Amino acid sequence: MDNDNIIDIIYGNLGTMTATDRKVAKTVLADPKAAVNYTISELAKVAQVSEASISRFCKNLTLTGFHQLKIQLAKVADDESAYYDEINIDNVQQALTNIKNNKIAEISNTLAGFTTPILKKIMSLIDCARILQIAAEGNTYPVVADAVYRFNQIGIMAIGDESWSTSIGQTLNLNADDVLLVISNSGESKALLKQIEVAHQRGMQVISITNRKDSPIALKADLHLRTSVRQHILNSDYYFSRVAAMTATETVFLLLIAEDRQRLNAIQSHENIISTVKI
């Protein structure tokens, strides 16, 4: 598991877990400190599942067993940023504090997982690309719109479209001089997997941003950045924050500026032009 945060891994897998695995995950995430001291039978009792289900839960997280789960939890049990703070509208000020803590946790843990070699390779690909195409689906598309705006501001030709039919049409007109950046929380979108396949057929390099490094999209991409989310269940569906994904794209954007300060001039030129349409 390298140095991956087990809490991040559990959150990243929540959306694809079985109902039984979710019971175990919910119990562990509710109090990681307590979970460190549980026996397998105690955890099974609290989660209301069988001991065999605990073992399957560990296996599904690519852990060797319950003992390794406890070891990994012990590493982060005292890290408050590892937890999700429940939001209760009965106390608005506390809710605001908890929202802040959750967002700080997403940003901190996302950035902590980035490595210099991967970031430098990604920066080099984007810097040398003739066209940077950025793709996502549904709730994640606003991250694409923001990234397209930002990269164009610093002189990097970036394109994207909310319609996947149009987006895949764009990919068919690109070539080996171009790069595809795919953003997906689950990393399991069939449409985006198809787009990666088409991009590779065109000779393009593919960068992915997902919550799991073992997701299908992450495994298909040439380079990958893993985000850390603190998600919650709403009406049996998972709500994914855009903060982590936007942190990833903005990080690359800021690093490209730091690499070449002349890009600030490009931003200024853009701002000067669009300022004429402001009051």
The more confidently predicted of residues 157 and 94 is: 157
Residue 81, pLDDT > 90, answer no
Q: Are residues 135 and 35 in the same domain?
A: no
Tokens standing for residue 68: 């390794």
Question: 159 phi and psi, to 5 degrees?
Answer: -135, 160
Between 144 and 97, whose confidence is greater? 144
Specify if 101 maps to a domain: no
Same-domain status, 62 and 131: no
Q: C-alpha distances in angstroms, 164 versus 82, 170, 181, 255?
A: 34, 10, 14, 29
Concatenated DSSP letters of 119-166: HHHHHHHHHH-S-EEEE--GGGHHHHHHHHHHHHHTT--EE--SSHHH
pLDDT given for residue 99 in this prediction: 81
Q: What is the largest CA-CA distance in the chain?
A: 68
Domain boundary among 63, 82, 101: 82
One domain for residues 154 and 271:
yes
CATH number at residue 74: 1.10.10.10
Q: Could you tell me if 77 and 191 lie in one domain?
A: no
Tokens of 25: 């995950």
| Helix (H), strand (E) at residue 56 | helix 51-60
Q: Which helix (H) or strand (E) holds 72?
A: helix 66-76
Q: Which two tokens stand for residue 41?
A: 């039978």
Q: Would you say residue 270 has pLDDT above 70? A: yes
Q: Does 88 reside within a domain?
A: no
pLDDT for 237 equals 44
At 234 the pLDDT is 40
- Asked if residue 266 and residue 130 are part of one domain, the reply reads yes
Residue 95 domain-assigned?
no
> Is 87 within a domain?
no
Residue 159 included in any domain: yes
Helix (H) or strand (E) holding 254: helix 243-259
| Residue-level pLDDT at 217 | 96
The better pLDDT of the pair 49, 186 is held by 49
Q: What is the CATH number of the domain that holds 223?
A: 3.40.50.10490
Q: Are residue 70 and residue 157 in the same domain, yes or no?
A: no
**Do residue 63 and residue 146 come from a single domain?**
no
Contact (Cβ atoms closer than 8 angstroms) between residue 162 and residue 148 = no
Asked if residue 255 and residue 134 are part of one domain, the reply reads yes
> For residue 103, is it within any domain?
no
Residue 107, in any domain of the structure: no
* 268 and 174 belong to one structural domain: yes
For residue 238, pLDDT over 50 is answered with no
b/e sequence 53-67, b meaning 16+ C-beta within 10 Å: bbbbbbeebebeebe
Name residue 2's amino acid: D
- Mean of the per-residue pLDDT values for the chain? 88
Share above pLDDT 70 across residues of the chain, in percent, rounded to a whole number:
91
How far apart, in whole angstroms, are the C-alpha atoms of residue 249 and residue 152? 13
Which among 85, 17, 88, 91 is positioned nearest to 57, based on CA atoms? Answer: 17
Q: In whole angstroms, give the CA distance from residue 13 to residue 187.
A: 10
pLDDT at 94 over 90: no
Number of structural domains in the chain: 2
CB atoms within 10 A of CB 183: 29
The SS3 call for residue 247 is helix
One domain, residues 239 and 153: yes
Gap between the Cα atoms of 81 and 222, Å rounded: 30
Which residue in the block uniquely carries the two structure tokens 């902590």?
112
pLDDT at 233: 46
Q: Do 137 and 192 belong together in one domain? A: yes
For 226, other C-beta atoms within 10 Å of its C-beta total: 25
Instruction: Indicate whether 108 belongs to any domain.
Output: no
Across the range 75-104, mean pLDDT stands at 75
Structural domain for 13, as ranges: 6-82
Write down the pLDDT at residue 83. Answer: 55
Given this model, what pLDDT does residue 17 score? Answer: 87
Say if residue 236's pLDDT is above 50: no
Q: What is the mean pLDDT of residues 71-75?
A: 90
Q: Does 240 have pLDDT greater than 70?
A: no
| Lowest-confidence pick of 104-108, 220-224, 259-263 | 104-108
Task: Count CB atoms within 10 A of the CB of residue 122.
Answer: 25
Do 127 and 250 sit in the same domain of this protein? yes
223 bridge partner residues: 207
